[in-house]
Amino acid sequence: MENGKRILVVGFLINFILFGSLANTTLAGPGIYYGRVVGFVFTTLIHVEEENGRISAFWLGHRTHLDSRAPFLGDRVKIEYGKDRLGRNAATQITVMRRK
């Protein structure tokens, strides 16, 4: 009887940990960001400035789709992004709106 209770408690704890970790995962939809390109870090990170002066960083990777061409400094861009596994802003699509 004691062994049966122990198995029941261990099984309950395993299920609690498993379902508790799954309940904390959140799925975020893609965000859209408009701004002007103000900097690059190598080819993997792009800095974009909003109209109010706030600068955000977006990571580029092999899944980033460029509509027409790669953006240059001063270009106005539309960036669709999501969060990657490390919590960074990962760009999924970049559209160059106009040259400023």
Q: Confidence band (pLDDT; 50, 70, 90) for 25?
A: low
Q: Any idea what the CATH number is for the domain that residue 58 is in?
A: 2.40.50.140
The DSSP code for 51 is T
Is residue 90 within 8 Å of 59, Cβ to Cβ? yes
- Write out pLDDT tens, residues 28-84: 667 899 999 999 998 889 999 998 999 999 999 888 888 888 888 999 999 999 888
Is residue 49 within 8 Å of 75, Cβ to Cβ? no
Does residue 18 lie in a domain region?
Answer: no
Does residue 73 lie in a domain region?
Answer: yes
Does residue 46 lie in a domain region?
Answer: yes
Look at residue 19 and give its three-state secondary structure.
helix
Instruction: For residues 2 and 4, give the distance between their C-alpha atoms in angstroms, rounded to a whole number.
Output: 5
Residue 71 corresponds to which tokens in the numbers above? 């953006």
Q: What is the model's pTM?
A: 0.67
